[in-house]
Structure formats: C-alpha cells, structure tokens
Amino acid sequence: MPLARAWSVALYGVDGRLVEIEADIGLGLPGVHLVGLPDASLHESKDRVRAAVVNSGRTWPNRRITLALSPATLPKAGSGFDAALACAVLAACGEVAQGELDGTVLIGELALDGRLRSVRGILPSLLAARRSGARRVVIPAETLHEASLVDGLEVVGAARLNDVLGWLRGDQKLPGPPPLTVVPPDEPPDLADVVGQKSGRLALEIAAAGGHHLMLVGPPGTGKTMLAQRLVGLLPELAADEALQIAAIRSVAGRLPVTGPLSLTPPFVAPHHSSSVAALVGGGSGLPRPGAVSMAHRGVLFMDEAPEFGPHLLESLRTPLEEGEVRLARAAGSVRYPAHFQLVLAANPCPCAPAHNRDCTCPPTVRRRYLGRLSGPLLDRVDLRAELLPVTALSGLDLEPGESTSAVRARVLAARAAAQDRWAEHGWRTNSEVPGPALRTRFRLSTSVVAPLEQGLREGRLTARGSDRALRLAWTLSDLAGRDRPDEAMVAAAMRFKEQQVA
C-alpha cells in the first residue's frame, strides 16, 4: 500500500494535540520529504528514522517518500514523532498492516541502531491521547513509570523499534506500566526546630491557613529560611487532580522522578537570586519550558534574599501572582503553564544586616533603597509581613519550646476546612482566592467591624487592593479562631500584619 497513517502527539506546554502522520510512496527520485511545519530537530528525524529502520533489519523503501504531519498549520517540534514516522513508512511499503496502526499512538525518539529513546512530556501526551479517543499507546520503555498515572488507556513500553513492530503484528507482548506508587511524603522539617520567633510562627500559620503570600524580614540567622522551609509541612496534601497537574509540569520539564512519579507533597521551589527570567517564569528556545513558578504550582515559591533578585525578575512575578498561570509567547508558538503558587519572600533589613538593628552601619539612604528594590506593586500583593527579632537566647527558662509541625498543622487544616466549606459553592479553595468584590458585597462585614479599614483608607495608609487583602487575612484569622466571621479586632490585626513596617 503506497499510503499509510500513524498517530503521535505534539505538546504545547502541558496541552497535547493528536497529530496524524501520513506517509505516501510516490514517483520520483528516492528521498524523504517532510511537510507540516517541522522544526530543525524534527527535520533531522528523516535521517534518524531511516538509519533506525535499516539497522533494525528492515528494508527502507528506496523511493520518493512524502511524510505529512497534520494538522499542517501547527508548528511541530522535537523528536517524539520518530516512532510514528517509522511505522507510517513501514506501513506504506507493506511491512506493517494499516489496521494495526489504527487507534494506536506512537511516541518516542529513535536511536540510529533502532532503540526507542525517551522524550520529555510523556504524561501530558498520554492525557492528550486519551482525550482524543486513542485506544492504545506505545511509549519508550524507560518512561513507563509516567504511564502508571493514566488509566483508561492501554499503554505499553517498547525498548526497540523491532519490539514495536512485533507487538503491532501481535507476535510479541510488551510490558505495561508498573503499579502506581505514591511517594510517601518525606518527613518535613519540624517547626519545633525553630528557636523562638513567636511572630514568625504565627505569620507562617496564618499564611498556611489562608494561602496568603508572606514576607519575612529580619537579621541573618534568625530563622527566615528555616521557617519558610517548614511551610510545606503545614500545608494539606495535594488533591489527586493537583498532583497530576504537577506531575504533568514535571514531565514536560523532564524532571519527573523515576521512582514514584506521583507526589502528594506540595512542591517547594527555591530559585537562587542569580536565576534568569527564563528559569523563573519559563522559557528556552523553541517552545518555552516551564520555569520555577510553574514547578512551584500548588506549592511554595521561596525567594531567599529577595532584594538580591534583579528588578526584572521580581516584576516578572507580578502577572503569575495575579492570574495563577503564565502565558509565554515565542516565534514557535505560545504556551500556557499553570503557576498557582504561594510566594514567600525573605529579606534582611539592610545590606550590612547585623544581629541587632541598632548596630547597623548603613547610611539611611542605602537602608531605604535596599528594601525599596522590592517594588510597591509586588509588596502590595503580599498579604502578610512578619518581622523576625534577633534570637537572644538559645536555651534557658525564658525560652518556651516551640510547637511542633503536627500541632500547628492540625489547626491549619481545621481553618482550611472551614474556609473550604464556606466558599465551596463558589469554587474557591482558600481565603486568598476569593475575589475582592465578593468580600465587599455578598460576604460583607458590618460597618463597625470594617471601621479600621475605612480609617486606614481615609488616611491613605492602605490601597483599595490592600484593604481587600486585609479582609481576606481577617477571614483567615477568624477561621483559625474557630469563629464564623471576623470581628473588629481581627480586622485591625489583619491590617497590622498587612502594613507592618519593615526596616
């Protein structure tokens, strides 16, 4: 048969599209012509596929072969189409029956000797294949662990092109995915390790309960980093759909662990301050790859030494913070990655940062400029600011032992459950997700309760967005206290947290 079809998947971010690959053997000089907007790496697959087919002991048709990737208008990139291209050609020259390829999606890069190599993004590809009604999928054997997350689809892993051909003909069996293993969450660092820092702990608890963005300011060595690392331990386990979303992002980034791909622990990502914008929000040549903000999806993005991050890095965070996703447009196309993360900033009060503020030797302008590197619009999105005080004693009677993670986590989970009950019918999960207008209309608080906010607005100490954020914080405080709505004292406290003067 001079015409054959095979199917594969093209990835755009974490969204996949089924791609139909047609092979036609026609008149003309021998050669391979690939059409359908392939990029450079896909153009090279002509040579890879041919070598792989020949080295697998099959005959390559010495004719003019036209390979069309459809939909033709979508730019396609990468080496994951190799297996499907090889099978389409072999079907066109009659080595494989077309009926065996129907309903089968083939994914994988071919090595010149006919081995099937792994590609990034198997998990989202499988999800796309299932969505488009494929019956069975062949993936590289090395990536089978990713397939254990997808059910309702026959997935097999092949190590060589010959295995795939044998399996298509029905002569050979191929292994399916291993049983799903959920990673038992690592024992998170315990909150009890942090010495003192009552206000820091409180801020951390509130941030965990309401999903609020947090900023910790204090001299070096007071436990900012320790506190931030303990935030993940306070958060509830991820829901199944969230865990799958994160696994898909990691799969696209090529960072899905082989042992136990599904993790229910919220991710904790701490980029260094020398990171590039591309590393932070996503980027790279061709179709952009996910950055730190997406790797921290449904988890914590911790920016230690926040003022050391370049201004363009900090500003690039503003849109994902507001919208919960990043859209990256490049010449090759635009992709969308989810980026719903909780931001934790940590900073020293000034460049010299002595243990006690009174020993600071920085000129006032330097001091002011240091935290001024964090722009107003960014800080306006941070709900909670906590100042950490120097630790004055490591042991002694005046030092009460801190609460452990499990004790605080119980309170956080109770508060989150209360918030979820309240907002469930509107589709919000935490207080921080509730839009401002809803807080001011449907869930409006009485005039006397919001009096501190009104006063703050009138005196110009608070922006309109700032007052919405203080309201959200007040709801979290009431959830933690076990009340059904905040009172005046809570609103006032929320406002203090919001506008606490740092530096």
Partner 1 sequence: MATKDELGRRGEDLAVDYLRGTGLVVLSRNWRCRDGELDVVATDSTRLVVCEVKTRSGTAFGEPAEAVSRQKAARIRRVTQAWLAAHQVRWCEIRFDVVAIVAPPGGEVTLQHYESAF
- The binding site for partner 1 (CB under 8 A) comprises 27-31, 62
* Cα–Cα distance measured from residue 299 to residue 108, given in angstroms and rounded to the nearest whole number: 31
Alpha helices, DSSP H, located in 394-502:
405-423, 436-440, 451-458, 464-481, 488-499
* Cα–Cα distance measured from residue 475 to residue 412, given in angstroms and rounded to the nearest whole number: 13
CB of 39 to partner 1, least distance (A): 23
What are residue 289's DSSP bridge partners?
283
For partner 1, the closer CB: 26 or 482: 26
For partner 1, the closer CB: 30 or 94: 30
Residue 46's contacts (CB-CB under 8 Å, 6 or more residues apart) are 32, 34, 67
For partner 1, the closer CB: 50 or 213: 50
Decide if 243 contacts 162 (C-beta within 8 A). no
Angle between helices 82-92 and 45-55 (to 10 degrees): 60
Extended beta strands in 27-132, E state: 31-35, 64-70, 104-106, 109-110, 116-117
What are residue 10's DSSP bridge partners?
17
CB of 28 to partner 1, least distance (A): 6
For partner 1, the closer CB: 28 or 311: 28
Beta strands 109-110 and 116-117 are antiparallel
CB of 23 to partner 1, least distance (A): 19
CB of 31 to partner 1, least distance (A): 7
CA proximity to 86, closest of 152, 163, 6: 6
For partner 1, the closer CB: 60 or 337: 60
For partner 1, the closer CB: 57 or 396: 57
What angle is formed at CA 123 by the lines to CA 122 and CA 129, rounded to 5 degrees? 85
Q: How many C-beta atoms surround the C-beta of residue 67 within 10 A?
A: 24
CB of 284 to partner 1, least distance (A): 34
CB of 62 to partner 1, least distance (A): 6
CB of 178 to partner 1, least distance (A): 43
CA proximity to 192, closest of 235, 236, 230, 218: 230
For partner 1, the closer CB: 62 or 446: 62
* Cα–Cα distance measured from residue 240 to residue 36, given in angstroms and rounded to the nearest whole number: 37
For partner 1, the closer CB: 15 or 24: 24
For partner 1, the closer CB: 27 or 397: 27
Amino acid at the residue 117: R
CB of 30 to partner 1, least distance (A): 5
What dihedral angle (degrees, nearest 10) is formed by the CA atoms of 375, 323, 383, 283?
A: -50
For partner 1, the closer CB: 48 or 498: 48
In our burial notation (b when 16+ CB lie closer than 10 A, e otherwise), range 410-440 reads ebbbebbebbeebbeeeebbbbbbbeeeebe
CA proximity to 127, closest of 265, 242, 18: 18
CB of 63 to partner 1, least distance (A): 8
Angstrom distances, CA of residue 369 to CA of 215, 307, 308, 313, 315: 17, 10, 12, 17, 17
CB of 44 to partner 1, least distance (A): 17
CB of 29 to partner 1, least distance (A): 5
CB of 164 to partner 1, least distance (A): 26
For partner 1, the closer CB: 60 or 302: 60
Chain-centre distance of CA 191, in angstroms?
Answer: 25
Residue 103's contacts (CB-CB under 8 Å, 6 or more residues apart) are 134, 135, 136
For partner 1, the closer CB: 31 or 363: 31
CA proximity to 69, closest of 51, 56, 88: 88
For partner 1, the closer CB: 62 or 285: 62
Angstrom distances, CA of residue 463 to CA of 214, 316, 377, 378, 470: 18, 22, 11, 13, 10
